[in-house]
Chains A and B, each alone.
Chain A
């Protein structure tokens, strides 16, 4: 590792630790720990939400995918962005008005049932931990490529850093690390985009014509179908992308960090501007990498294409830009995983320990203490799992997490807010069916089984043909919620539903922000 890379890398570590130091002073009670006291502004939360979606997977992954396979690499961007419209129109405001700290709070605002809360907490933990393993394994590999650190050490460094942010600074540190990284990433991408665009003489037409002839795919490069040959599988992937975000726990808890529904709404809209701009820039970066780095060099550095953006920065901007982009990618990884640790720890400390085991009778001090212990536990478990998964191809886990979010959480969230007849049994069966069907079908899919050794985790024929089962599991999740409801003898609690409708539409009873 060069002196330049090392110093930029250390600056990121120092900067985030400074943020954590100041956040720790502000983190006094449970509300501070779980939701930064609900005191973030719309711009801050907009950047933080954007930060959650501008992950290393999107910065390095989408750029690489566009560089190597052209249009098919861009589906990820379209789906992730369009998801925000769905989130904005149907979910964000009711969620803010009904919830307190976690997704389970929102669902149990209608069904005062420990089983419902437990199920929602389990689904949160499964989604967040799958997501985290995918991120950590990716991080280990990327840091190895970018900075030349050994895989195990890289995972450990990321793991320790994320734990420090969360246990000392809670949601405040997690949010500010995310905001700082979002600004760095947007800035870094803008510089790269500008340099790439100048090489195409600031001419869109020249850029598109150039890549049409400059890649091994030829004119096919700009057309869909280079990667996804199975139409149903591709549509299924798109479904996971567009519906998953609205059920993703680490994203949904971000809406509890603002004071009311109006601020939540604005933060979604602002985040679409940041994310949209960022995804448009990934087109330039992808095309730039395809044109100036070249297919063979990108694949040579990393077969998945993750090195496309860093290599591009080396070619157009030299050593300094390369070191800067590598440091930004490192910050990106840190910010996203710390959000996941916090979400898992909240589900454990607030839902499972505080509400289910202790029946809500815990002191503020105890809550925060348990949340900190849970953070360490979750982080340690994820680090160990990530270390064991080094040689496995687990990139599919992040799409699986989106698929579970779309199949287990989204149907139940929507029914809780919009379906009068819905009941607690329906909520439990909906989440259970969505979760189990997603996990089982993926573990029978070609992502896990491949007849070629090394291509997937196990060698053999896949029993289920699609890599992405979401197109089946989302209807199954809804069906589970429907059947669970109509087959149970539970009476509809009309007053409770009226309360949910009233509160979700008016924001009546939302706890006001605490003063700092």
Chain B
């Protein structure tokens, strides 16, 4: 299978002497078309995948240090916070269903159930602001990455 495709690749590109290292299955279609161009179906907006002459595809771009660093940073922020939000959220119905702790009076005539519920509002608002601030930092990194990868992405 690989050999057949490789042969076709050579037929397409060989004469121009472009050396390519690509994922065969992914680029089967592109290879049959013209190298370095997008695929032909204009209705399909997601196929504008290019085979760059240096062979740097998305796999390679996602393996660059700057990109893996970004993903690591995002994961370290998003995963624990999401788990916290879900735990904090589900604790209310669980406590309400199986314990009496939320039934006691808190202050100003509110029971703990209302206090907990309103705390969730505070968590949403604070969580939104924290996200906006953190994401603004990612925006800067993303801009740097896109500038750095400009050449590979344009080819």
A→B interface (CB under 8 Å) = 71, 74-75, 78-79, 81-82, 84-86, 88-90, 93, 100, 108-109, 112, 204-209, 212, 222-225, 228, 231-232, 234-235, 238-239, 242, 262, 265-266, 268-269, 272-273, 276, 279-280, 354-355, 359-362, 491, 493-496, 498-499, 501-502, 505-509, 511
Residue of A nearest to B117 (CB): A78
Are A494 and B59 interface neighbours, CB within 8 A? yes
Interface mask (B48-84 → A, CB under 8 Å = 1, otherwise 0): 1100000001110110000100110010001001100
Are B132 and A505 interface neighbours, CB within 8 A? no
Q: Given A235-B93, A502-B67, is A89 in contact with B131 using a C-beta cutoff of 8 Å?
A: yes
Are A505 and B70 interface neighbours, CB within 8 A? yes
Are B70 and A498 interface neighbours, CB within 8 A? no
Interface mask (B96-131 → A, CB under 8 Å = 1, otherwise 0): 111000110000111101100110110111011101
Are B128 and A269 interface neighbours, CB within 8 A? yes
Which residues of chain B are near A273, meaning CB under 8 Å?
Answer: 125, 128
Chain A to chain B: the 10 pairs with minimum beta-carbon distance, closest first: A360-B43, A231-B97, A208-B109, A224-B96, A498-B58, A495-B26, A269-B128, A205-B108, A499-B58, A209-B109
Alpha-carbon separation in the docked complex, A511 to B48 (Å): 12
Alpha-carbon separation in the docked complex, A88 to B134 (Å): 12
Q: Does B44 contact A (CB under 8 A)?
A: yes
Q: Given A89-B82, A266-B132, is A279 in contact with B109 using a C-beta cutoff of 8 Å?
A: no
Are B85 and A85 interface neighbours, CB within 8 A? yes
Contact with A276, one of B94, B108, B124 (Cβ below 8 angstroms): B124
Are A86 and B85 interface neighbours, CB within 8 A? yes
Q: Given A273-B125, A495-B57, A499-B58, is A235 in contact with B90 using a C-beta cutoff of 8 Å?
A: yes
Are A355 and B43 interface neighbours, CB within 8 A? yes
Are A265 and B74 interface neighbours, CB within 8 A? no
Alpha-carbon separation in the docked complex, A170 to B117 (Å): 38
Residue of A nearest to B22 (CB): A495
Q: Which of B98, B108, B145 has the most CB of A within 10 A?
A: B108
| Size bracket, chain B contacts | 35 or more
Q: List 9 A-B contacts (CB under 8 A).
A: A81-B124, A84-B128, A108-B46, A224-B97, A231-B97, A495-B23, A495-B59, A498-B58, A502-B58
A344 CB to nearest chain B CB (Å): 22
Which residues of chain B are near A269, meaning CB under 8 Å?
Answer: 128-129, 131-132
Alpha-carbon separation in the docked complex, A268 to B131 (Å): 11
Which residues of chain A are near B61, meaning CB under 8 Å?
Answer: 498, 502
Q: Does B45 contact A (CB under 8 A)?
A: yes
Are A85 and B103 interface neighbours, CB within 8 A? no
B→A interface (CB under 8 Å) = 23, 25-27, 41-49, 57-59, 61-62, 67, 70-71, 74, 78, 81-82, 85-86, 89-90, 92-94, 96-98, 102-103, 108-111, 113-114, 117-118, 120-121, 123-125, 127-129, 131-132, 135, 139, 142, 145-146, 153
Q: Given A88-B128, A89-B81, A276-B125, is A506 in contact with B120 using a C-beta cutoff of 8 Å?
A: no
* A contact face: mostly helix, strand, loop, or mixed: helix
Are A509 and B124 interface neighbours, CB within 8 A? no
Are B113 and A223 interface neighbours, CB within 8 A? yes
Alpha-carbon separation in the docked complex, A100 to B43 (Å): 12
Contact with B124, one of A82, A90, A224 (Cβ below 8 angstroms): A82
Contact with A234, one of B82, B96, B120 (Cβ below 8 angstroms): B96
Which residues of chain B are near A89, meaning CB under 8 Å?
Answer: 78, 81-82, 85, 127, 131
Contact with B57, one of A223, A359, A498 (Cβ below 8 angstroms): A498
Are A82 and B109 interface neighbours, CB within 8 A? no
Alpha-carbon separation in the docked complex, A79 to B44 (Å): 37
Contact with A223, one of B47, B67, B103 (Cβ below 8 angstroms): B103
Are A496 and B81 interface neighbours, CB within 8 A? no
Which residues of chain B are near A265, meaning CB under 8 Å?
Answer: 131-132, 135
Are A204 and B43 interface neighbours, CB within 8 A? no
Which residues of chain A are near B46, meaning CB under 8 Å?
Answer: 108-109, 112, 499
Q: Given A222-B113, A262-B139, A360-B43, is A272 in contact with B58 using a C-beta cutoff of 8 Å?
A: no
Which residues of chain A are near B94, meaning CB under 8 Å?
Answer: 231, 235
Which residues of chain A are near B103, meaning CB under 8 Å?
Answer: 223-224
Are A222 and B114 interface neighbours, CB within 8 A? yes
Which residues of chain A are near B41, meaning CB under 8 Å?
Answer: 360
Contact with B59, one of A79, A224, A242, A498 (Cβ below 8 angstroms): A498
B113 CB to nearest chain A CB (Å): 5
Are B113 and A505 interface neighbours, CB within 8 A? no
Are A360 and B44 interface neighbours, CB within 8 A? yes
Are A112 and B44 interface neighbours, CB within 8 A? yes
Are A498 and B93 interface neighbours, CB within 8 A? no
Are A81 and B58 interface neighbours, CB within 8 A? no
Which residues of chain A are near B153, meaning CB under 8 Å?
Answer: 508
Which residues of chain B are near A222, meaning CB under 8 Å?
Answer: 109-111, 113-114
Alpha-carbon separation in the docked complex, A507 to B153 (Å): 12
Are A279 and B121 interface neighbours, CB within 8 A? yes
Known: A268-B128, A495-B26, A496-B26. 16 other contacts (CB 8 A): A82-B85, A85-B85, A85-B128, A88-B128, A207-B109, A208-B114, A222-B109, A225-B97, A231-B97, A238-B89, A262-B135, A265-B132, A272-B128, A276-B125, A360-B44, A495-B57
Are A359 and B43 interface neighbours, CB within 8 A? yes
Alpha-carbon separation in the docked complex, A80 to B145 (Å): 36
